[in-house]
Amino acid sequence: MTAAFDGLLSVHYSQAYVVSGDEPPDPVRAFAGQVNGLCGARVPGALFLVTGRNTGEVGFRAEVVDGPPPVDPRWEEVVEVSFTALSDDVNLMDWHQEAYPLPLRESVTYRVRYCARGMDAGKTYLGEPGVTLPLDHYLLLFWPAPAEADRIVRRTSRIAAYWHDEGFVAG
């Protein structure tokens, strides 16, 4: 396992990205034809990631692993997609386009598992005093694997249900 990023990630409009090009993907194109609404993977070389928190910082970890790990029951939301980098310059990117390098290789197809917990709490937080932040946390796992269709592994929160049923996917 290689932990590529472990810290706070700045989000705005509930967005973060993985890019192997210069710019984040268009959300409508990223989710076109997918069943999941949390990790858009239809734009080659890019991922569009949705968070519960609209604006602020979320807990975020990205790892590269050798193969598919068991699905950890602590994660409330789990989706999987396939991703192939267009270059060796692959970055996790926050809303401000601050880039954090990911050790992924060009032309290798990866399976990606995007996990979340606390999405509803992150979405509804209004700055109440005494609340320990961040409220929502995310895990992005990559491992080499043949391409497969996206899938929803676990779905529990209201905000994830919204993104799966009515978000960019519905368009």
If you average pLDDT over residues 51-71, what whole number do you get? 96
Confidence of residue 128 (pLDDT cuts 50, 70, 90): confident
Note the pLDDT of residue 1.
67
Note the pLDDT of residue 46.
97
Residues 78-98: pLDDT tens digits?
Answer: 999 999 999 999 999 998 889
Confidence of residue 171 (pLDDT cuts 50, 70, 90): very low
Give the total number of structural domains in the chain.
Answer: 1
127-136 long-range contacts, Cβ below 8 Å, gap at least 24?
133/56, 133/57, 134/8, 134/53, 134/56, 134/57, 134/58, 134/59, 135/52, 135/53, 136/51, 136/52, 136/53, 136/58, 136/59
Lay out the sheet containing 109-117: strands in order across. Answer: 2-11, 56-64, 137-144, 109-117, 77-84, 151-154
CA distances, 28 to each of 41, 66, 130 (Å): 11, 31, 37
Confidence of residue 126 (pLDDT cuts 50, 70, 90): confident
CA distance 82 to 84: 7
Note the pLDDT of residue 168.
80
Cβ atoms 139, 71 nearer than 8 A: no
- Note down the domain range covering 21: 2-170
Residues 135-164: pLDDT tens digits?
Answer: 999 999 999 999 999 999 999 999 999 999
Q: Which amino acid is at 136?
A: D
Strand partners, 110: 83, 144
Nearest residue to 1 via CA among 143, 145, 147, 146: 143
Give the chain's mean pLDDT.
Answer: 93
Q: Say which CATH number the domain at 124 has.
A: 2.60.34.30
The percentage of the chain sitting over the pLDDT mark of 90, rounded to a whole number, equals: 85
Which residue would you say has higher pLDDT here, 95 or 118?
A: 118
Q: Which amino acid is at 123?
A: K
Which pTM does this prediction carry? 0.95
Phi, psi of 29, rounded to the nearest 5 degrees = -70, -35
Note the pLDDT of residue 97.
87
Cis previous bond, 134, omega within 30: yes
Note the pLDDT of residue 131.
84
Residues 1-47: pLDDT tens digits?
Answer: 678 999 999 999 999 999 997 789 999 999 999 999 999 999 999 99
